[in-house]
Structure 1
Amino acid sequence: MRQLLVINPNTSASVSALLQRHVQAAAGLHVAVRTATARFGAPYIACEASYAVAAHAALDAWANELSQHQPPPDAVLIGCFGDPGLMALRESSPVPVTGLAEASFIEAARHGRYAIVTGGERWGPMLQRLAQALGHAHALAGIHTVAPTGAQLAADPEAARTLLAQACRDMVRQMGVQAVILGGAGLAGMAALVQPQVTVPVIDSVVAGATWALRAHPVPPERKVPGFNVAWAGVSGEMTALGHA
């Protein structure tokens, strides 16, 4: 059975449970999904500072997971629509690594130009920068951030559906896009609720992430075993143990 490790780089157990449920549903019965939660950091990532700490937390969660003597993962999915720690994890891992944002960019671009709708007003420039860094800015027409965070939207699904559907329709009308990404771990499952009210495909970032992770293969793997090749000081024992792997 294939093993998929999902890393929630925030400290919210409820977000981890949401990720576990929706990634497992997308992955199917023949994939074992397990979700690791950050051991430190913010309960929700909504600013540059919490995003920076989340990258460290993702590396720590990965190292801690590998120390638990469980079956090694066949792929790793960063369960945040911002992919904190993506490049560092990819450099350190012998298996494919992606995040909700990168996977969604790839999926949405299959339809043409796309827009992003997500919760948390500070995410706009952060996601624009990420798309540029990952080479996907050419197809990204615009980003619409709504004031409630993803966690707040998840807490009131009915109000969220109305707000998000209108935001998606606005992006289609204003930008003429061929797809809209509904981005965020806290918005898992909402794309299906919004889709009947939107005339273009609405991409669920969690489903996109699970699908990419299960299809991906190292080409070729950059390393045979996990490790950082860093003489760490002051980090967790699990990260230290992988420092010279």
Structure 2
Amino acid sequence: MRTLLVINPNTSAHVSALLQRHVQAAAGSGVSVRTVTARFGAPYIACEASYAVAAHATLDAWAAALAGGAPAPDAVLVGCFGDPGLFALRECSPVPVTGLAEAAFATAARHGRFGVVTGGERWRPMLQRLAQALGLGERLAGIHTVAPTGAQLAADPAAAQRLLAQACRDAARQMQLQAVILGGAGLAGMAAAIQPEVDVPVIDSVMAGAHEALHAMAPAPRRERPGCDVPWAGVSRELAALGLPTPG
């Protein structure tokens, strides 16, 4: 059976359980989904510092998943809307790697001009930077952030649904969008609930990520050995094993 590894870059077991449920439902019975949680870092990512730590935690979680000679999965999904560690993990992984934001941006861009609705003001520059890095900066019309963080929104789904539906309507009208992304691992499933209230397609970042990762599982040559090009010190034993052997 093919396998998909989902890495939650924050330390919230609740978010991991949500990712596991929604991604496995999208994958169906033919793919085994395994979600792992960051071994260190923040319970939710809401600033540059927590994002930087989450990138390290993503690599560490990948290394821990391969510890003891465990076989590599067929694909990896970084389960955070913001994709911390995406490019680094892709560089040292022998299998395809995608992230929630990357997949959602690509999905929304097929409709034309798109925007993002998400929780937490500090996400705006981080998401704009990611869009530029992915070559989609010109398609991204804007980012509408609501005051609560993604974690706070997930804690009160009914209130979150009302707030986010209005935010999506406002963003679509004000930015003249062809699609709007509802971004955040903790918001999985909410896009379908608010879609009837919004006139343009509402993209669920978790579903977009799941579909992209599953599509990437098509047979392709793998690198012989996952790893990096320098020796590391002061990191976990598992992560150190992915670097070059320490001289001497």
Q: TM-score range by the shorter chain?
A: over 0.9
Aligned to 1:8: 8
- Asked whether the equivalents of residues 95 and 218 of structure 1 are also in contact (C-alpha less than 8 Å), the reply is no
Aligned residue pairs: how many? 245
- How many angstroms apart in 2 are the aligned matches of 1:38 and 1:196? 35
- How many angstroms apart in 1 are the aligned matches of 2:112 and 2:219? 26
1:178 aligns with 2:149: no
- How many angstroms apart in 1 are the aligned matches of 2:227 and 2:64? 12
Instruction: State the shift of 1:72 in Å.
Output: 2.2
- How many angstroms apart in 2 are the aligned matches of 1:222 and 1:127? 30
Instruction: State the shift of 1:240 in Å.
Output: 1.2
The code of the aligned residue for 2:103 comes to: A
Instruction: State the shift of 1:121 in Å.
Output: 1.1
TM-score (norm 2): 0.95
Q: List aligned pairs for 1:1-245, cutoff 5 A.
A: 1-216=1-216, 223-244=223-244
The code of the aligned residue for 1:146 comes to: V
SS at match of 2:138: helix
SS at match of 1:76: strand
Instruction: State the shift of 1:241 in Å.
Output: 1.2
Instruction: State the shift of 1:69 in Å.
Output: 4.7
The verdict on how the C-alpha distance between 1:218 and 1:240 changes in structure 2, with shifts beyond 3 A counting, is: farther
- How many angstroms apart in 1 are the aligned matches of 2:116 and 2:44? 19
- How many angstroms apart in 2 are the aligned matches of 1:219 and 1:102? 21
Root mean square deviation, CA, Å: 1.5
- How many angstroms apart in 1 are the aligned matches of 2:68 and 2:142? 42
- How many angstroms apart in 2 are the aligned matches of 1:27 and 1:244? 35
- How many angstroms apart in 2 are the aligned matches of 1:68 and 1:155? 37
Deviations 1:12-67 (A, max 9, x none): 11111111111111111111000111000111000000000000000000000111
SS at match of 1:88: helix
- Asked whether the equivalents of residues 94 and 218 of structure 1 are also in contact (C-alpha less than 8 Å), the reply is no
The code of the aligned residue for 2:23 comes to: V
Instruction: State the shift of 1:243 in Å.
Output: 1.1
Where does structure 2 lack aligned partners over 5 or more consecutive residues?
none
- How many angstroms apart in 2 are the aligned matches of 1:68 and 1:15? 26
- How many angstroms apart in 1 are the aligned matches of 2:64 and 2:124? 31
- Asked whether the equivalents of residues 91 and 222 of structure 1 are also in contact (C-alpha less than 8 Å), the reply is no
TM-score (norm 1): 0.96
The code of the aligned residue for 1:78 comes to: V
SS at match of 1:7: strand
Instruction: State the shift of 1:215 in Å.
Output: 0.7
- How many angstroms apart in 2 are the aligned matches of 1:132 and 1:211? 22
The code of the aligned residue for 1:49 comes to: A
The code of the aligned residue for 1:33 comes to: V
SS at match of 2:45: coil
- How many angstroms apart in 1 are the aligned matches of 2:24 and 2:218? 22
- How many angstroms apart in 1 are the aligned matches of 2:72 and 2:12? 24
The code of the aligned residue for 1:90 comes to: R
- How many angstroms apart in 1 are the aligned matches of 2:91 and 2:218? 12
- Asked whether the equivalents of residues 97 and 213 of structure 1 are also in contact (C-alpha less than 8 Å), the reply is yes
